[in-house]
């Protein structure tokens, strides 16, 4: 459960960097937005996978 809190905290930090004007703008998104979205999403995926691998490694250490 602690891992989820870390991801929520990271997402909150990312979202807080968007200005109110940009967040509420009716302008079309630029192509770089999509690239940034997928790059940030990959960071979250990598972090989740790292936490899963760490957890599995600890389980194996406890078995041995």
Tell me the DSSP string of 18-54: S-HHHHH--SPPPHHHHHHHHHHHHHHHHHHHHHHHH
Closest-CA residue to 64 (of 56, 2, 3) = 56
- The larger pLDDT score, comparing residue 32 to residue 64, is at 32
Number of independent structural domains in the chain: 1
> What is the span of the domain harbouring residue 56?
2-63
Separation of alpha carbons 28 and 50, rounded Å:
35
pLDDT at position 45: 92
Per-residue pLDDT reduced to its tens digit, 48-60: 999 999 999 999 8
CA 22 to chain centre: 20
This prediction has a pTM of 0.56
């Amino acid at each position: 459960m602690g891992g989820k809190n870390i991801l929520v905290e990271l997402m909150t930090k990312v979202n807080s960097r968007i200005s109110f004007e940009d967040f509420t703008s009716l302008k079309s998104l630029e192509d770089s937005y999509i690239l940034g979205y997928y790059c940030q999403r990959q960071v979250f995926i990598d972090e989740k996978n790292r936490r899963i691998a760490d957890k599995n490694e600890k389980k194996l250490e406890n078995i041995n």
